[in-house]
Amino acid sequence: MEYYHVPVLYNEVLENLAVRPKGIYVDGTLGGGGHALGICSSLSWDGRFVGVDQDPAALEAADLRLADTTCKRSLIRGNYSDIRAILNSLNLEKVDGILLDLGVSSFQLDTPSRGFSYMHEAPLDMRMDPQGSLTAEVVVNEYAQGEIHRILKDYGEERWASRIADFIVEARTQQRITTTSQLVEIIKAAIPARARREGPHPAKRTFQAIRIEVNDELGHLERALSDLTDVLASGGRLAVITFHSLEDRIVKEHINRRINPCTCPPGLPICACGKKTDIKKITGKPLTASAEEIEQNPRSRSAKLRVIEKL
């Protein structure tokens, strides 16, 4: 199957990254190289592009897609949360722009064997990095009921988290849960019929929550944001696309802390700690997809783009 990921908010990303032809740019979630192609096409022969992804299939596909671009390119297998080490390995200290397009790619969703989709029969996998040790099957079959409940509630914001966790634990006493279709049927049984008829697919939130746990998505994001901001050169920009409220909240809170780093007690007439902001917002409210883009690519519906610039 060809690796193809439809880049969301493509024009908005390129416009707000404001690519400098001779600059150094990082795509920390390379995917199939959709956004990367736009960035590399804006770079001159002495510009530099660094693409990072956990998935070897993504790196291979991006390498092919970027083959006709002329800038200097480095494609690295890794996680964007290791950005300092990755840049150090390339003898780079500061960069002019970084993009994160979070979440699962279209290719990963549409490849049944990866186990990300509740629409396909597949093994319960959900690893973005195929060499990762934790799988969805391990989470479902070996985590305690309380842990499954917490994951579904916190990462999936699932109303029926407690019932679904109970039903999973009961089902696995009969046989190990190994496929996406088994898990979907358990979720459907746990959610009352009226609730199943309303809103999105009944398994959507559970699958999202388990995927986030398997890949430690929120942990990587929280650990990475300060480093990503620190490695920006003066005038460099960080652009982050999120797809659900948990990710967006983490990004928004990081930006607000960086905008207002003062740690003085409330009520002091002047700041005594001396901490000052080193960034500014390029986007006030996050940018979202147009109606036209949503019609062409429904997965863009929940996308939000936030952009900051290093002072």
Predicted pLDDT at 116: 87
Global confidence as pTM: 0.90
> What are the residue ranges spanned by the domains of the chain?
10-101+217-310, 114-215
Predicted pLDDT at 264: 80
Per the CATH hierarchy, to which homologous superfamily does domain 10-101+217-310 belong?
Vaccinia Virus protein VP39 (3.40.50.150)
Share of the chain above pLDDT 70, in %: 98
The 3-state secondary structure of 213-252 reads HHHCHHHHHHHHHHHHHHCEEEEEEEEEEECCHHHHHHHH
CA distance 166 to 160: 10
Topology alike, domains 10-101+217-310 and 114-215: no
Predicted pLDDT at 91: 96
Those residues with Cβ within 8 angstroms of residue 138's Cβ, 6 or more apart along the chain or in another chain: none
Q: Is the pLDDT of residue 1 over 50?
A: no
**CATH number belonging to domain 114-215:** 1.10.150.170
pLDDT band at 194 (very low <50, low <70, confident <90, very high): confident
pLDDT band at 4 (very low <50, low <70, confident <90, very high): low
15-73 tens-digit pLDDT: 999 999 999 999 999 988 999 999 999 999 999 999 999 999 889 999 999 999 999 99
Predicted pLDDT at 261: 77
pLDDT band at 193 (very low <50, low <70, confident <90, very high): confident
The 3-state secondary structure of the chain reads CCCCCCCCCHHHHHHHHCCCCCCEEEECCCCCCHHHHHHHHHCCCCCEEEEEECCHHHHHHHHHHCCCCCCEEEEEECCHHHHHHHHHHCCCCCEEEEEEECCCCHHHHHCHHHCCCCCCCCECCCCCCCCCCCCHHHHHHHCCHHHHHHHHHHHHCCCCHHHHHHHHHHHHHHCCCCEHHHHHHHHHHHCCHHHHCCCCCCCHHHHHHHHHHHHCHHHHHHHHHHHHHHCEEEEEEEEEEECCHHHHHHHHHHHHHHHCCCCCCCCCCCCCCCCCCCEEECCCCCEECCHHHHHHCHHHCCCEEEEEEEC
140-158 tens-digit pLDDT: 999 999 999 999 999 999 9
99-144 tens-digit pLDDT: 999 988 777 777 778 888 888 899 999 999 999 999 999 999 999 9
Predicted pLDDT at 171: 97
pLDDT band at 190 (very low <50, low <70, confident <90, very high): very high
Predicted pLDDT at 5: 60
Q: Is the pLDDT of residue 3 over 60?
A: no
Average pLDDT score, the chain:
92
256-284 tens-digit pLDDT: 999 987 778 777 777 777 778 899 999 99
